[in-house]
Chain A
Amino acid sequence: MASPVPKDTHQTEHDRLIAPGHDFGTVTDTISQIVLQRKTPLGWFIGFGIAFSLMQLLFVATAFLLFKGIGVWGVTIPIGWGFDIINFVWWIGIGHAGTLISAILLLLRQEWRTSINRFAEAMTLFAVACAAFYPIFHTGRPWVAVYWLMPYPNTMGLWPNFRSPLIWDVFAVSTYATVSAMFWFVGLIPDLATLRDRAKSKVWKVIYGMAAMGWRGSARHWHNYETIYLLLAGLATPLVVSVHTIVSLDFATGIVPGWHATIFPPYFVAGAIYAGFAMVLTLAIPLRKFYGLEDFITMKHLENMAKIMMATGLIVAYGYMMEAFMAWYSANPYELFMIKNRMTGPYASSYWALILCNVVAPNFLWAKNLRTSVPFLFCISLVVSVGMWLERFVIIVTSLHRDFLPSSWGIYSGTRYDWAAFVGTLGLFVTLLFLFVRFLPAISIFEMRTILPGAAMGDEEGK
């Protein structure tokens, strides 16, 4: 669906990527004034206050966890992983949209990515930060885990176990976090320079100035910038696939029925993109509303995201179908029991809620009028986020709680500290987002300018 750059300002409301009547100046003004001129609205303080308070829960929960031990969570034998890994996978999945939008859509020359890539990337970073909390703190002894998981030379000649998917995870997630952060920061440099130039206060001039790394907008700068940005995009592209593939291998390499499936990598990647776009929508809709950015994040953007969400949602649905089919086709009693237990066991309600959220709900997006209804999109994106959380719950908990020996079957539920940590990471995520929209341009100023009709000439020259 490669669409040409819309140069015609008479396109319908649904098709355009930027509202008519904008020029270079208005784009820069509209976006930078959020950071520089506009008085911070009361709503920002209220929202930030709430998120910041919720973030404190994370600190309390973590402090208590470190003080008492992993036992404050609901994990047990046989359900060794619970909210910790559910939330880890959930957050990492959410983090996928940013890189996908930035890198893959850039390489595919999807111009519509421009207005959403910046905050999608920020969201990625913050989601990865939330995700990173879990693998570290879910261990029994985080104080040693943080460095024993790293390969470092030591007198004992002892290395991590490179056969373990958890080690692959360490590399995959840390690489992903690093590349995403670089990509995001490099993309910010021209805009930081704009902010530096427009900032009134001396302090902000210095801060933005330092962050802009001496950007002066010379042709040589732009040339270097374009090169590195493309290179980083190329580097980030395989990561979109690799990270969640490796996360899925945490399960697929295990022998637990319900985990041990070859379909997991593609199905997890699709699920991640699905969840990621749902989260981008969840954030974009209020953002454009409160900051009056409807001109830049248009219905076209929302609709495109809805389409991707629906497509990946259908892939995920296929995954569920195949899981059930393969369980039957394998004629393996453990696999058969697993799927039956998912559908009818103690956690059946979670399974069917998941089917409702992830399989039934996205099909409403076939209808164009629903797809273009902002409140409906917002609701459905929330439903999908819940559904994806349930998916991880079902995969992890229902597979583990009844595996091979019925004598060892158990039951799991999250404790208040599980919930506190989860809500706390939500608080952390939203807090960081609030800080981001307040202090950095949430939409890429210079890239938005490139899609203005007036920029077309430069485009031609570029080619």
Chain B
Amino acid sequence: MSAEPGVPVVRVDLSGVRRRLDGTQGRTFWKSLEELAETPGFLEFLHREFPEQASEFDDPAGRREFLRVMGASLALAGLTACTKQPTETIVPYVKAPENVIPGRPLFFATAVTEGGYAKGVLVESHMGRPTKIEGNPDHPASLGATDAVTQAAILGLYDPDRSKTLTSYGEIRSWTTFVDTLRAALGPQRISKGAGLRILTETVTSPTLAQQIKDLLADYPEARWHQYEPAARDNARAGGILAFGEAVEARYSFANADVVLSLDADFLGTGPGAVRYIRDFASRRKITSERPEMNRLYVVESSISVTGASADHRLPVRPSQVEGFARAVAAGLALAVEGGTADHADLVAALVKDLKRTDGRSVVVAGDAQPPAVHALAHAMNEKLGAVGKTVAYTAPVEAESVDRLASLKALVADMLAAKVQVLVVLGGNPVFTAPADFGIAYAMEKVALRVHLGLYDDETAERCHWHIPEAHSLETWSDARAFDGTVTVMQPLIAPLYGGKSAHEVVAAFRADRSGHDVVKDYWRAHLGGVDTERTWQRVLHDGVVAGTSFPEKNVTVKLGEWARVAPPPPAKGVEVVLRPDPSIGDGRYANNGWLQELPKPLTKLTWDNAVLMSPAMAKALGIVTTTNYDGRLENGGKRISTGTISDVVKVKVESRTIEGPAWVVPGHPEGVVTVHLGFGRTRAGRVGNGVGFNAYALRASTALWSATGVEVTKSGATHLVACTQDHWSMEGRNLMRAASLEEFEKNPEIVHEGGEEPPAELSMYPRHKYEGHAWGMSIDLNSCVGCNACVTACQSENNIPVVGRDQVGRGREMQWIRVDRYYEGPPEAPETYHQPVLCMHCENAPCEVVCPVAATVHSDEGLNEMVYNRCVGTRYCSNNCPYKVRRFNFYLYQDWETPSLKLMRNPDVTVRSRGVMEKCTYCVQRINEKRIDSKNEGREIKDGEIKTACQQACPAEAIIFGDVNDPESRVSKLKATPRNYGLLAELNTRPRTSYLASVKNYNPEIRRG
């Protein structure tokens, strides 16, 4: 019998019990040990005959006491929950791992790769489970921020649909069986010097893997290493060769650029440097009334992108018109370039003037989808502008082996068709799904005797291979990779491979002898790190997440205006053109099984769980496209019952003999005469989440027209499709929600953003005002910095254990993300201004939700937070009805997956996993606030400004979100709230939101007529 210290217990005198039992004869009946031991309490009980209070019933004071106690205990007995807590066994560590304190996470530096390039991260690990990914502040591609895809990598790690076993022809096999088979197949290859051996990888920047493959090729000199990447930057590479005669990597410094011209380049949305570029770009848009200077962005684009949406001047054109425009600008800069378009002469003239004005502090960026000549023109213009060294730098290619990846795959396919290949090892990637349609790669692969696939999923390529090896996730492996500037990160695993996966290093090593990934990577770096104490350096490298000094040095190259500068581009095509792009959420299709990314509303279109044929309003009108609201119960598509949502007409897009069918979706500002389709959907073997979502746009993609095609036929197919869109409405309805001004207006009158908005006096409330003795948390969101990249949305989803609800539920409007990025258009639908506005709980001072909750489940904290008490919530949804910002999310079903074991590992242990029937919403990451509060108390100090970062703030590449104590006038957030751009959304309702916005300011060129 033990008890908590300090709690009095009746100690049973066991020796007394024994004594009494010994001293009795015959049978003795006893009721309790107390009786046996003759404890004083029991004797008194016997003596008193009645329970203590009952015998005093006639004493008035005692009776009152009795009634009070009885009343309370009856109430408690009847009303407390009767759930029995399950028995849990807690087993302590036999040998406790170093530094692991339960409840305190550890952070490990590593990298997550995309398209071969590293994005440096710090991964939060709770008791050996990675739970959250943050950016690595020391990493040049991150500087502490991340993008949505990187945030979602944690779900990719725990995806229950990942392939779990090594298989051969669908049968489970052991690794040793595979190695034996491989070595047996290599026997003949040794004789032929590897003439029939091919290795196909994605883009490789890993120095170790490159070295391994080179060593392998030394063993088999006739073998070939091919690289393929569906969204490879081959054009940029070819453009460099065209301009400089050698392949280079262009690295931009947008922080130094006063004027930026993007030629169809989505540098804020895609590419290995996007996170860093957003940071640099946004740093030039954080204007104050004291320093009203900002950069100016011109975008000429053939589709839609977050870069275009951030532009001060945007020109939507056909893909085939970009080159003509580029040539016109180049000619304007007095370069010996011909073939410039005569259209947009005013714009070109003003643009040229603006580019030249800044004395080299301007930059021209060409898009990956643009032909090599446009890249070469951009290089020439940058050189002419004197931008090289200021806003752009050239380095050696970051890829370990720079090749034209399309040509590389083409050569492989040709070899396979010619039956020259006997052994094909596919290390990552899904070429069967992503290769251009005209290659017929699936057919060509049939001619290879032994096909091996290493991949995270048993995907379309795995299906075509004899052997499939489950790949270890980035967070499970030892590896290394380079960032966009060449900086190396040595990747360390956060957890042992969940499903016994192998890394590419281990597979390549197995050609010679089995070696662990750790040994391979460490051996390489032991040889390359140098220094006196290699082990110390190795530890330092792992700790920092970067290998210092591995950024590529600048290269001196000069543009040679060759024949390409004088050859006019083919005249812009007549008829409709199609633009093919990787999907902003699921990329080239590799993230198709990631529920967070599938459900992430795409920037601009706000579509989830689908790709669509994007087109301009005028084109939709000409085609007779109808988008209607569907009400529940309507029968659709052959009698199938479909739910509430938006339905759109399906169109057929035909290029030569290739066709796809998909729902049409109207996007204001989309170039005329162009349709955009996003790649990556229509997977058949992605997993339970990604299978059958959307249509496969790769079917349209030919090797001759990778990024766009002309001569497209678009027709209505007659069918309709239910689309899950989170924001159907384009317009602000003339409401003053998104405050914006031009720089000119702002300079003249910084108060312009407050015009037309009224804020009632603070005392205008029936209820007394809250008082804040200590902290009062608040947030400021800079709408001028926000580019709408969605990193915050996924970061929040990861931090706060937010479930995925699926397409049907999103269609009904039941998505669960706590933060959303609202998108509004302003101006004519053919060329509108686009604005993003991240909206999360405003933590209102006079919160409309708090008043109406009948059970006080949403209450105001003494630090100003509007807190949700999940335990108390009964789910009347009144709070959501009364919330003017509609930031509350309701668990209409049991959305959270309580069953899948791997997903249990993923959850943030500091955040409640919500169940069915309760309301939830942004908490300002209260768990992070409390963590820092505990830290500061333990250290006997105040919480420092900037110490607490909400998940959205930490992920934001633009540093648009600032959180802090508004009671402290010196805090960053207080200072921002004091600036003239600050305004409260719907402040006229007297909600007094704690989250406020900094108005958007566009830096228009006064010489260009708008609209």
Stretch at the interface among A109-117, A136-144, A182-190: A136-144
**Is the pair B882, A254 in contact by a Cβ cutoff of 8 Å?**
yes
CB of A416 within 8 Å of the partner chain: yes
**Is the pair B880, A78 in contact by a Cβ cutoff of 8 Å?**
yes
**Per-residue interface assignment for chain B, residues 827 to 866, with 1 indicating a CB less than 8 Å from any chain A CB and 0 otherwise:** 0000000000101000000001001111110000000000
Hey, which chain A residues are within 8 Å of B824, CB to CB? 406-407
CB of A152 within 8 Å of the partner chain: yes
**Is the pair B893, A148 in contact by a Cβ cutoff of 8 Å?**
no
**Is the pair B875, A139 in contact by a Cβ cutoff of 8 Å?**
yes
A160 to B916, CA, bound (A): 21
Stretch at the interface among A98-106, A161-169, A194-202, A206-214: A161-169
Contacts A140-B890, A152-B79, A166-B852 given; does A69 touch B916 at CB 8 Å: yes
Cross-chain contact of A415 among B632, B734, B848, B886 (Cβ < 8 A): B632
Cross-chain contact of A154 among B79, B737, B814, B893 (Cβ < 8 A): B79
What distance in Å separates the Cβ of A167 from its nearest Cβ neighbour in chain B? 5
Q: Which residue of A lies closest to B869 (CB)?
A: A158
Cross-chain contact of B853 among A152, A154, A161 (Cβ < 8 A): A161
**Is the pair B839, A407 in contact by a Cβ cutoff of 8 Å?**
yes
CB of A217 within 8 Å of the partner chain: no
Stretch at the interface among A53-61, A234-242, A397-405: A397-405
**Is the pair A253, B851 in contact by a Cβ cutoff of 8 Å?**
yes
B contacts with A, residue count (CB < 8 A)? 64
Hey, which chain B residues are within 8 Å of A75, CB to CB? 877, 892
What distance in Å separates the Cβ of A319 from its nearest Cβ neighbour in chain B? 21
Cross-chain contact of B856 among A68, A77, A138, A160 (Cβ < 8 A): A160
A253 to B881, CA, bound (A): 12
**Is the pair A255, B885 in contact by a Cβ cutoff of 8 Å?**
no
CB of A74 within 8 Å of the partner chain: yes
Hey, which chain B residues are within 8 Å of A400, CB to CB? 881
**Is the pair B632, A74 in contact by a Cβ cutoff of 8 Å?**
yes
Hey, which chain B residues are within 8 Å of A409, CB to CB? 728-729
**Is the pair A333, B79 in contact by a Cβ cutoff of 8 Å?**
no
**Is the pair A149, B855 in contact by a Cβ cutoff of 8 Å?**
yes
Chain A interface mostly: loop
Hey, which chain B residues are within 8 Å of A404, CB to CB? 735, 884-886, 986, 989
Cross-chain contact of B814 among A76, A250, A253, A414 (Cβ < 8 A): A76
Hey, which chain A residues are within 8 Å of B570, CB to CB? none
A310 to B874, CA, bound (A): 40
CB of A268 within 8 Å of the partner chain: no
A290 to B72, CA, bound (A): 55
**Is the pair B631, A254 in contact by a Cβ cutoff of 8 Å?**
no
A303 to B372, CA, bound (A): 88
CB of B644 within 8 Å of the partner chain: yes
Hey, which chain A residues are within 8 Å of B886, CB to CB? 77-78, 403-405, 408
Cross-chain contact of A81 among B851, B881, B884 (Cβ < 8 A): B881
Residue of A71, A74, A79 with highest tally of chain B CB at under 10 A: A71
**Is the pair B76, A154 in contact by a Cβ cutoff of 8 Å?**
yes
A404 to B984, CA, bound (A): 14
A160 to B964, CA, bound (A): 32
Q: Which residue of A lies closest to B858 (CB)?
A: A161
Hey, which chain B residues are within 8 Å of A411, CB to CB? 629, 631, 644-645, 813
Contacts A141-B917, A407-B822 given; does A148 touch B729 at CB 8 Å: no
What distance in Å separates the Cβ of B128 from its nearest Cβ neighbour in chain A? 34
**Is the pair A140, B727 in contact by a Cβ cutoff of 8 Å?**
no
**Per-residue interface assignment for chain A, residues 375 to 415, with 1 indicating a CB less than 8 Å from any chain B CB and 0 otherwise:** 00000000000000000000000001001111111111111
Residue of A69, A149, A160 with highest tally of chain B CB at under 10 A: A69
Q: Which residue of A lies closest to B728 (CB)?
A: A409
Hey, which chain B residues are within 8 Å of A81, CB to CB? 877-878, 881
Hey, which chain B residues are within 8 Å of A69, CB to CB? 891-894, 916-917
Contacts A81-B881, A152-B79, A405-B885 given; does A140 touch B854 at CB 8 Å: no
CB of A159 within 8 Å of the partner chain: yes
Hey, which chain A residues are within 8 Å of B873, CB to CB? 140-141
CB of B930 within 8 Å of the partner chain: no
CB of A374 within 8 Å of the partner chain: no
Hey, which chain B residues are within 8 Å of A153, CB to CB? 71-72, 75
A contacts with B, residue count (CB < 8 A)? 60
Q: Which residue of B lies closest to A419 (CB)?
A: B633
Contacts A80-B890, A160-B854 given; does A148 touch B814 at CB 8 Å: no
**Per-residue interface assignment for chain A, residues 238 to 256, with 1 indicating a CB less than 8 Å from any chain B CB and 0 otherwise:** 0000000000001001111
CB of B932 within 8 Å of the partner chain: no
Contacts A76-B812, A164-B852 given; does A406 touch B729 at CB 8 Å: yes
What distance in Å separates the Cβ of B712 from its nearest Cβ neighbour in chain A? 32
Contacts A152-B79, A403-B886 given; does A139 touch B917 at CB 8 Å: yes
CB of B820 within 8 Å of the partner chain: yes
Hey, which chain B residues are within 8 Å of A408, CB to CB? 727, 885-886
Q: Which residue of A lies closest to B891 (CB)?
A: A140
A410 to B813, CA, bound (A): 7
**Is the pair A80, B881 in contact by a Cβ cutoff of 8 Å?**
yes
Q: Which residue of A lies closest to B876 (CB)?
A: A139
CB of B904 within 8 Å of the partner chain: no
**Is the pair B881, A78 in contact by a Cβ cutoff of 8 Å?**
yes
**Per-residue interface assignment for chain B, residues 877 to 908, with 1 indicating a CB less than 8 Å from any chain A CB and 0 otherwise:** 11011101110111111100000000000000
Hey, which chain B residues are within 8 Å of A414, CB to CB? 632
CB of A337 within 8 Å of the partner chain: yes
What distance in Å separates the Cβ of B881 from its nearest Cβ neighbour in chain A? 4
Hey, which chain B residues are within 8 Å of A250, CB to CB? 878
A80 to B812, CA, bound (A): 12
Contacts A69-B894, A140-B873, A254-B881 given; does A77 touch B917 at CB 8 Å: no
Residue of B72, B631, B894 with highest tally of chain A CB at under 10 A: B631
- Within 801-835 of B, Cβ neighbours of A (below 8 Å) are at 809, 812-814, 820, 822-824
A160 to B644, CA, bound (A): 35
Q: Which residue of B lies closest to A68 (CB)?
A: B893
CB of B49 within 8 Å of the partner chain: no
CB of A361 within 8 Å of the partner chain: no
Cross-chain contact of B874 among A79, A149, A333, A416 (Cβ < 8 A): A149
Cross-chain contact of B878 among A144, A147, A159, A164 (Cβ < 8 A): A164
CB of A231 within 8 Å of the partner chain: no
CB of B755 within 8 Å of the partner chain: no
CB of A311 within 8 Å of the partner chain: no
Q: Which residue of A lies closest to B730 (CB)?
A: A406
Cross-chain contact of B875 among A77, A140, A333 (Cβ < 8 A): A140
CB of A324 within 8 Å of the partner chain: no
Residues of A within 8 A of B (CB): 68-71, 74-81, 138-142, 144-145, 147-149, 152-155, 158-161, 163-167, 170, 250, 253-256, 333-334, 337, 346, 400, 403-416
Can you name 23 A-B residue pairings with CB atoms under 8 Å?
A75-B892, A77-B889, A139-B876, A140-B873, A148-B872, A152-B79, A153-B72, A158-B856, A159-B856, A161-B854, A164-B852, A166-B854, A254-B882, A404-B885, A405-B886, A407-B824, A407-B837, A409-B728, A410-B813, A411-B629, A413-B632, A413-B633, A415-B633
Nearest first, the 4 closest Cβ-Cβ pairs linking A and B are: A140-B875, A140-B917, A71-B892, A80-B877
